[in-house]
Each structure stands twice: as C-alpha cells, then as structure tokens.
C-alpha cells in the first residue's frame, strides 16, 4: 500500500475500497470481544470458517471477526448481513444450520433470535432487539461493521475524513474552539471540559508537548473503554491525532493495561497500518504535520490510572501520583505539557469535527453533551455495554436496556464510578444520566460503570468491598490514604462481622474527612466516597448492623448465624 498524500487521495482510496465491495454479499459479523471468549466465540468463528469452506462458499461469503457488540449477556453474537439477522448465544453446533438456512437459504432460524422474556415476541434484526432499539450508538454502532484489524474497513465508513478536515480546513485554534463549543467533557470520570484542557496544553510554554490516551480502565465493573478501543482502535487514534494537531504535539502515548492482550494486539496493528497509510509519522496526509505514538503498559495497579501517576509510569518510574501543585497539562511527562484524555473522550473527537459542535450540542442535556457508554453489570438481566444520550433516565437504562433485575428481585441501589464513586438508592433512579446531577446526588458518573444491586445486597459490605479493593490498589505513599484505608477497612469488616461498636460511624466519618482533605492525590481524596454515599442513603443499615447485630439484606453471614436471619 502506498502512502496517502492528500485529502483528495484519501477520498479516492475510500471510494475505491467501497467500489470493490458488494453490499449485497453476505457477511457474518461475529463478536470476537473478550467477554464472549469464555463462552467460545473463537470456536464459533472457526466453525464458520470450516463450514463455509466445506460448502465452498469462500468467494461468496465474508466472515468478519469484530469487536464487542455490547450485548454480552447473550454472547457470542453473530449478525448476518445484509439482512442484519442477529443470532444470540451461538454455539459451534449451530453454525452448519446458520450457513445453509440463513446465509444460503435466506431463512431466519427462530430458536436463535431474540425472544422477549415477558411477551415471547421474537426480534430477528439487531435494531429490533429492545437492548439495541433505543440506544444511540454513535461511537459503538460501527463495531459490528468493521474488523478492528482492518484499516480499510475503517476507511470504508469514512474513517480519517475528520482528520483530513482538521489538517486541511482548520487551524489548530479552530479545532480547539470546536471542541470547546461542543462542550465535550472528559469521559474518564472528572467531566472536565476537554477543550479547556487542550487550550491549557496548547498555551503552555515549551516546544515539546505530549498527548496521551488513558486506556487504563481499572475500576471494578468498567469495561466500556476496552470494548470501544478493541472494537474500533482507529476511531480513538484519529481523535488523538486531531488532538495532537490542535495542541501542537508531535508525540503521543497510549497507556493501557498489560493484561489486555486482545486490545494490545489491535492497537499495535492499528498503529502499524496508520503509519503505512501515511496517517501517522512524518508529514501526515501530506500536510506537513508530524506525529508518532507509542504504547506503554501499566504494572497492574489501580492508581496507575491517576493522571500524574500514569505520567510518572510513562517516565519509567513507579506509578505514584506526583505531589506537585501544577497541572499536568502545563507540566506532565518529563515536566512538559501533557494532555491526557480517556479513550471515550478521544473517540468523540472525529464526529465533532466532521459533523460540527452544533450537531453534537443538540444531543444530551444542558451541560452534559453527546452520548455516554455505560457498562452494565451486577444484578441486571442484560449485562453489557450500552451507548445512550446523556440525560437518559437511569430507570430506562436499568429496565429498558438492562431488562430489569433477575430472579424477581427488587432493585436496591445503583453504584457509579467504582471505588471513587457512590451509590444512589432505587428512589432516585428517575434522575438523568448527567455529570452534574449525579455529582449533586453524592455519586459520580465515573467512567460509566454502572453496578446494579438488588435487595439482597448489603450496603455496608458494598462499602467494605471497595475499601478492600483500594487497600491493594492505592500506592500507599501518603498517610491519610494508606492508613485511612487500613483503619476504615478494619472498622467496616468488624461491623459486617457483628463486632461493630457505638461510635464507629462517627470514627469512619472522621477518618474519611481527613483523607478527603489531606490525601496527596485525587484517588486518596476520593477513597471514602462510596462510604459517604452509603452513609447518606443507607445509614439505617449501618445502625442495624452495629446496634441490633442484624444485616437487613441478610447477606452478612456471621450476623445471619447470630440470629440476624430470623426474618427470612
């Protein structure tokens, strides 16, 4: 493949790729995502390859191993185009029938399509399934249409056109202005306006500047960035290159986890392909702009995702947050201006540049724009990744997309933001998905991980769980965080074992207050957030544990044994 040297050549190449493709040609898009690897999507893919060879259909049928389709609960999923027939929980044994009946015979196999658990109604096409029907899949919609290992698939759907537009039709300041007007807010948890951050990094003195993708998704229950980045790596990369151009950076980093082999492979392939096509490296698209990207792996600790710890890790040091009082966008990696954004934030950039801030601003709420990826897990019928417009009521996410609570149980609470977030009770689920609304309720949108809990969940145990997680995942450098976690965890463990004492709640609040004020980094200052939210909404559960030695959810075993289970 020869390098692409101009915007016109890019468009020509796209047309050329599309013209060589036959939209009517049957294609099986199988989710090759990591969540479906357990149920055996690799065997399903092999079965399709074998069956198609057996029936000598190689020239007539395309097999596409794609990224995550989102509906993890029902994986492995195979979608047969052009009819968009969506088969769920496909096994290798189903494959011969799918090939002869659906691909060759154009008939739908009833037993493999979605059946509504309440009405028994069938839905054969992906877009008819309630899980997908009302989503707004701006970032993830193409995941079924592209092979993440193929840059041509991405180019065919208009990939890198936004980059060409930014490089040839816009000045860096105009790009920043567009991102500011779109009010794109950071998807990693903070919700900080990306445009302002970019501006700070652009204005910061110094020739050498860096842009970084934070792909260190470490919160328990967060798996949307992995799904997005693994399924469509070029989308994130395109956003990053546009950001680099806007900020004036020529060196970028992708910081991700060492334990995501599939993601790492897809990133490596995407980088190599982008370079080969002249979309990365020297003189990108013939514009004169140079930009290179390196991948850095973490050492497997949650605090690595904290911005300054992440940057120290890239420098080759231990991933401890940096104690300096200066923003990383002014002085980050090697004390140079470093702009860090999360995977999903970067992925939003190309569409804002292509379709404009006006279009983007029309989606979402007053102060939270665009769509948000949510990874749904816990006590929910449909575990998976959904993409919905900001402002969607939480009730709709839980009952509409999520399909409600399994086993006839009642919803008790929803937790956002992992160990740095908070839980809200069932009574508040008519609230909209919105950065500021959730913050006011004492939680945080976080990275979009939504943990649904039913009536059997003990909220004291929930708070204890997150501190237990942090006890091994903070860096342990500063006293309020390290010792605060140690003591709060001890107190909470005692409470769940029926050894709670009068005054424990006050002591917890006192330690939490000091950690919140005096800890070194944002992680340390947030360690008590899950606990605070539980004390705010479920204080009576704490008191039942301490005073009555009773676990209202009948979950704490040692309390159940001592008579706490008598109501059951």
Tokens of 265: 């492979």
> Considering the complex, what minimum distance in angstroms separates the CB of residue 484 from other proteins?
7
- Among candidate residues 409, 424, 253, the one with its CA nearest the CA of residue 343: 253
115, β-bridge pairs? 122
The Cα–Cα gap between 104 and 85 comes to 13
> Considering the complex, what minimum distance in angstroms separates the CB of residue 299 from other proteins?
9
Backbone phi and psi for residue 70, each to the nearest 5 degrees, phi listed first = 95, -30
> Considering the complex, what minimum distance in angstroms separates the CB of residue 467 from other proteins?
10
Please, what's the largest Cα pairwise distance for the chain? Answer: 76
Query: Do strands 251-256 and 292-297 pair parallel, antiparallel, or not at all (unpaired)?
Result: parallel
Tokens of 95: 């494959």
Side by side, which strands form the sheet with 371-378?
A: 384-389, 371-378, 449-454, 411-416, 422-425
The Cα–Cα gap between 232 and 44 comes to 21
Spatial neighbors of 334 by CB under 8 A, at least 6 apart, are: 315
> Considering the complex, what minimum distance in angstroms separates the CB of residue 326 from other proteins?
8
CA distances to 194, 267, 390, 422, 451 from 438, in Å:
19, 33, 12, 9, 14
The Cα–Cα gap between 38 and 33 comes to 10
122, β-bridge pairs? 115
> Considering the complex, what minimum distance in angstroms separates the CB of residue 471 from other proteins?
4
Spatial neighbors of 170 by CB under 8 A, at least 6 apart, are: 178, 353
Nearer to other proteins by C-beta: 239 or 321? 321
> Considering the complex, what minimum distance in angstroms separates the CB of residue 568 from other proteins?
33
> Considering the complex, what minimum distance in angstroms separates the CB of residue 482 from other proteins?
6
Tokens of 429: 């689920």
Backbone phi and psi for residue 520, each to the nearest 5 degrees, phi listed first = -75, -40
The neighbour count for residue 104, using CB atoms within 10 Å, is 14
Nearer to other proteins by C-beta: 138 or 470? 470
The Cα–Cα gap between 207 and 251 comes to 11
451, β-bridge pairs? 377, 415
Nearer to other proteins by C-beta: 107 or 258? 258
Nearer to other proteins by C-beta: 156 or 475? 475
CA distances to 67, 143, 253, 443, 484 from 262, in Å:
10, 15, 18, 32, 37
> Considering the complex, what minimum distance in angstroms separates the CB of residue 496 from other proteins?
17
Nearer to other proteins by C-beta: 234 or 482? 482
> Considering the complex, what minimum distance in angstroms separates the CB of residue 322 from other proteins?
9
> Considering the complex, what minimum distance in angstroms separates the CB of residue 495 from other proteins?
15
85, β-bridge pairs? 80, 125
> Considering the complex, what minimum distance in angstroms separates the CB of residue 532 from other proteins?
16
> Considering the complex, what minimum distance in angstroms separates the CB of residue 324 from other proteins?
6
Nearer to other proteins by C-beta: 460 or 511? 511
Nearer to other proteins by C-beta: 73 or 473? 473
Nearer to other proteins by C-beta: 100 or 487? 487
Nearer to other proteins by C-beta: 325 or 408? 325
Yes or no: say if 373 and 228 are a contact pair by the CB < 8 Å rule: yes
The Cα–Cα gap between 252 and 295 comes to 9
Nearer to other proteins by C-beta: 323 or 563? 323
Nearer to other proteins by C-beta: 509 or 543? 509
Yes or no: say if 296 and 314 are a contact pair by the CB < 8 Å rule: yes
Query: Do strands 411-416 and 449-454 pair parallel, antiparallel, or not at all (unpaired)?
Result: antiparallel
Tokens of 90: 């496909």
- Among candidate residues 119, 118, 136, 319, the one with its CA nearest the CA of residue 127: 136
> Considering the complex, what minimum distance in angstroms separates the CB of residue 192 from other proteins?
17
Nearer to other proteins by C-beta: 302 or 401? 302
Helix (H, G, I), strand (E, B) or coil at 128: helix
Nearer to other proteins by C-beta: 411 or 521? 521
> Considering the complex, what minimum distance in angstroms separates the CB of residue 481 from other proteins?
9
The Cα–Cα gap between 145 and 165 comes to 23
- Among candidate residues 157, 133, 123, 146, the one with its CA nearest the CA of residue 32: 146
Nearer to other proteins by C-beta: 151 or 519? 519
Residues that bind other proteins (CB under 8 A): 301, 303, 318, 323-325, 470-480, 482-487, 489-490, 510-511, 513-514, 517-520
């Amino acid at each position: 493949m020869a390098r692409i040297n101009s915007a016109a050549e890019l468009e020509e190449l796209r047309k050329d790729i599309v013209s060589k493709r036959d939209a009517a040609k049957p294609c099986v898009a199988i989710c090759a995502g990591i969540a479906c690897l357990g149920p055996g999507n690799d065997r399903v893919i092999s079965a399709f390859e074998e069956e198609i060879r057996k029936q000598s259909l190689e020239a007539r049928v395309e097999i596409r191993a794609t990224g995550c389709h989102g509906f993890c609960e029902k994986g492995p999923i195979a979608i047969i185009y052009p009819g968009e027939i969506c088969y769920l929980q496909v096994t290798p044994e189903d494959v011969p029938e799918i090939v002869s009946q659906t691909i060759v015979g154009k008939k739908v196999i009833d037993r493999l399509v979605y059946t509504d658990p309440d009405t028994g109604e069938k839905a054969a096409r992906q877009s008819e399934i309630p899980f997908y029907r009302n989503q707004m899949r701006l970032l993830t919609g193409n995941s079924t249409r592209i092979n993440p290992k193929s840059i041509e698939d991405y180019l065919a759907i208009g990939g890198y056109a936004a980059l060409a537009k930014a490089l040839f039709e816009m000045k860096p300041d105009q790009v920043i202005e567009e991102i500011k007007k779109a009010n794109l807010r950071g998807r990693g948890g903070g919700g900080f306006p990306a445009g302002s951050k970019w501006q700070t990094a652009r204005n910061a003195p110094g020739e050498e500047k860096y842009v970084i993708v934070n792909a260190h998704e470490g919160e328990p229950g967060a798996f949307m960035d992995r799904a997005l980045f693994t399924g469509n790596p070029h989308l994130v990369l395109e956003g990053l290159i546009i950001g680099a151009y806007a900020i004036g950076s020529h060196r970028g980093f992708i910081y991700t986890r060492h334990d995501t082999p599939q993601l790492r492979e897809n990133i490596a392939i995407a980088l190599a392909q982008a370079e080969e096509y002249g979309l990365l490296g020297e003189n990108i698209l013939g514009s004169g702009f140079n930009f290179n990207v390196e991948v850095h792996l973490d050492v497997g600790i949650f605090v690595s995702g904290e911005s300054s710890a992440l940057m120290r890790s890239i420098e080759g040091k231990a991933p401890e947050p940096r104690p300096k009082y200066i923003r990383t966008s002014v002085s980050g990696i090697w004390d140079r201006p470093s702009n860090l954004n999360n995977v999903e934030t970067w992925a939003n950039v190309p569409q804002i540049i292509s379709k404009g801030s006006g279009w983007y601003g029309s989606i979402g709420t007053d102060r939270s724009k665009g769509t948000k990826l949510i990874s749904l897990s816990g006590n929910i019928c449909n575990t998976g990744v959904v993409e919905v417009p900001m402002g969607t009521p939480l009730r709709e996410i839980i009952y509409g997309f999520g399909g409600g609570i399994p086993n006839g149980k009642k919803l008790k609470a929803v937790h956002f933001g992992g160990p740095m977030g908070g839980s809200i009770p069932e009574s508040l689920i008519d609230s909209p998905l919105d950065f500021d609304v959730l913050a006011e309720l004492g939680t945080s949108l976080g990275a979009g991980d939504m943990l649904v809990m039913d009536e059997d969940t003990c909220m004291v145990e929930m708070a204890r769980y997150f501190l237990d997680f942090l006890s091994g995942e903070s860096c342990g450098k500063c006293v309020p965080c390290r010792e605060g976690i140690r003591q709060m965890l001890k107190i909470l463990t005692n409470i769940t074992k029926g050894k709670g004492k009068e005054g424990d709640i006050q002591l917890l609040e006192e330690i939490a207050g000091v950690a919140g004020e005096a800890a070194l980094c944002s992680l340390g200052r947030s360690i008590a957030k899950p606990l605070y939210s539980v004390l705010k909404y479920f204080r009576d559960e704490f008191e039942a544990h301490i005073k009555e030695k009773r676990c209202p959810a009948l979950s704490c075993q040692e309390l159940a044994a001592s008579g706490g289970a008598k109501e059951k």
